[in-house]
Amino acid sequence: MKNKEFKAESKRLLDLMINSIYTNKEIFLREVISNASDAMDKLHYRSLTDDKISIKKSDLKIRVDIDKEARTITVEDKGCGMTEEELDKNLGTIARSGSFAFKEENEKKKDIDIIGQFGVGFYSAFMVSDIVTVESKSIDSDKAFRWTSKGVDGYSIEECEKEDVGTRVILHIKEDSEEENYSKFLENYNIQDIIKKYSDYIRYPIEMQVEKSRKKEGSEEWETYYELETINSMVPLWKKSKKVIKDEEYDNFYMNKFHDYEKPLKVIHSSAEGVYTYNSLLYIPSHLPFDYYTKEYEKGLQLYSSGVLIMEKCPELIPDYFGFVKGLVDSEDLSLNISRELLQHDRGLKVIAKNIENKIKSELEDMLANDREKYEEFFKIFGTQLKFGAYSEYGINKEKLQDLLLFYSSTEKKLVTLKEYVERMKEGQKEIYYACSETVDKIDMLPQVELLKDKGFEILYFTENVDEFVVQVLREYMGKTFKNASSGSVDLDNIDEKEKLDKANEESKDMFEEMKKVLNSEVEEVRFTHRLKNHPVCLTSEGSISVEMEKTLNQMPMNEGIKAKTILEINENHEVAKKLKELFASNKEELAKYTKVLYAQARLIEGLQIENPTEISSLMCEIMCK
């Protein structure tokens, strides 16, 4: 016999279970039964792909037995079983995704929430048991093994006798205490109720000796007798009618099946009939999966063929930009023992995938139209995914996604759609204005947006790196092109003003040349502007790469050294313009210093680095001390 200790994290979880004050302890049975069901799914699937394994369908049952005297509940399955190593690995450590969230949330209260909503698997047995025994024989082994644990101290594994492949979990129920009546879990009717409540949809029969009473023959006395009955209805949740399913059932099913500790944001349950008949049950989670941005994350839906799980994660069923959607598809029109490679080319699967994509899209559109608040909540979590979807592969999906995108509006002070923007554009406004920086507040302070705002134009604030790339691939929306408020060619002046500005620029042409030289031609051009209201300077860009994009692109390896074509613009109506002209006439050396400082200011406003901070600092002090 081998005695072992639990891994540290498992120990904590176990400790939590043993000392749990959670009132809904009955969920332990749901967890044990759902493991039994999973094990039979696994075996069934193996038998489809491995000729050496044959199973009798009628054997695929879960048996629950109660022994009041011995204070035990036994749950037995004819599933795939576990080898000695698997017993050690699977029950000695918790390796499920939820353990991550668990680590994050330390307080006791939160822990209780986790138990309730999420179950925390096999260990929940310790909420009601003081000894847990698991006897198992794997399909891959001739020997059977017994795993036993009394809780945090550790567990032992030894060889044991067991004829059939499968697993038997024996829970020794705790003695009653002042706070808790554990004996109720040994009551026959109680266990029946718990099974009906939480495990009704399990697709294998859950059998139990049901306690009944009848009059003794030829006497008035009552006697108790037992009859083997199937307790669950075995109709999978997704095959039930929407009308009879409670929200709670959808939520519990999701949390249990897809290992989430939070309820989903949205449930999409539908069935389709036609060339391909299928049921689908899809969930939009209420948070980003913690590993979403790692390469471990695999998108995909569970795939069932007539109720039999044939693939845990079928990536072909869901496009990348909806990769956060969890759920399952069950179709009668897919062959059971289809191989992975063939499945990829299966026409039926393609049609179903297309329908699912459309379904998700239309549900989101519906949410956007009818439940704006919820859509915004959704968009805050998954909006970036949709933006990447619109942008990726040179925008082949842009038309599908553009109406689902939201951007922050300078006038509405909330997220708006492109359609809303275009429909309220001012008369004569030709372009959709946007401005970029890291935060809404920073954009609000950009000198370039000042005048646009002043003239009452709505500006979309782009705070994510991907935003500007999205509009580059969109190119236009409802016939309107996009215009960066910081681009050199934003044109707000009327003809008179324009002429005045052109004239001023022409007059100071030589000065600007001189200034450009001082800056070693780091800018394309220096010129006066009227776009600034109070600010003296700003940096704008010309061409397809904006200053914001320069920042983003330079963060990527391979792309270093990409530069936007920038223009140093000086407010012609500002005092400093006059000063520059004076200096150009009288003191070129001083003009050079002013130019450097102004350029540094413009870069800093844009959030760009300056290459010579020490020089700038001394120059500023020099100017201050005059």
Residues of the shown chain interacting with ligand ADP in the complex, contacts defined by CB under 6 A? 31, 35-36, 39, 77, 79-82, 90-91, 94, 96, 121-122, 167, 259
In the sheet that holds 480-484, the strands lie side by side as: 415-416, 407-409, 459-462, 431-436, 480-484, 476-477
* 3-class DSSP assignment, residue 225: strand
Helices (H) and strands (E) in the chain, counts: 21, 23
Cβ 115 to ligand ADP, closest distance in Å?
13
Cβ 314 to ligand ADP, closest distance in Å?
19
Cβ 81 to ligand ADP, closest distance in Å?
6
Nearer to ligand ADP, 79 or 327 (CB): 79
362, 290, 286: which is closest to 325 by C-alpha?
A: 286
Cβ 337 to ligand ADP, closest distance in Å?
22
Nearer to ligand ADP, 134 or 605 (CB): 134
Cβ 93 to ligand ADP, closest distance in Å?
9
Nearer to ligand ADP, 29 or 598 (CB): 29
Distance, in Å, from the CA atom of 340 to the CA atom of 102, rounded to the nearest integer, reads: 34
Nearer to ligand ADP, 46 or 480 (CB): 46
* 3-class DSSP assignment, residue 479: coil
Cβ 22 to ligand ADP, closest distance in Å?
17
* 3-class DSSP assignment, residue 141: coil
Nearer to ligand ADP, 124 or 397 (CB): 124
DSSP 296: T
> Which residue type is seen at 415?
L
Cβ 63 to ligand ADP, closest distance in Å?
12
User: Residue with the closest Cβ to ligand ADP?
Assistant: 121
Nearer to ligand ADP, 298 or 399 (CB): 298
Cβ 32 to ligand ADP, closest distance in Å?
7
Nearer to ligand ADP, 79 or 151 (CB): 79
Cβ 389 to ligand ADP, closest distance in Å?
30
DSSP E strand stretches across 40-81: 62-67, 72-77
List all residues 6 or more positions away from 464 whose beta carbon is below 8 Å from its beta carbon: 384, 387
Cβ 101 to ligand ADP, closest distance in Å?
13
Backbone angles phi, psi at 491, to 5 degrees: -120, 100
405, 408, 492: which is closest to 442 by C-alpha?
A: 408
Secondary structure string (H, E, C) spanning 126-192? HHCEEEEEEEEECCCCCCEEEEEECCCCCEEEEEECCCCCEEEEEEEECCCCCCCCHHHHHCHHHHH
> Which residue type is seen at 407?
F
- CB burial of 86-105 (b: ≥16 within 10 Å; e: otherwise) equals bbbebbbebeeebbebbeee
Backbone angles phi, psi at 371, to 5 degrees: -140, 70
The CA–CA distances, whole Å, from 205 to 78, 137, 188, 195 equal 12, 21, 17, 11
Nearer to ligand ADP, 90 or 546 (CB): 90
378, 353, 354, 385: which is closest to 364 by C-alpha?
A: 378
Quickly count: other Cβ atoms within 10 Å of residue 614's Cβ: 8
Nearer to ligand ADP, 90 or 529 (CB): 90
Nearer to ligand ADP, 47 or 573 (CB): 47
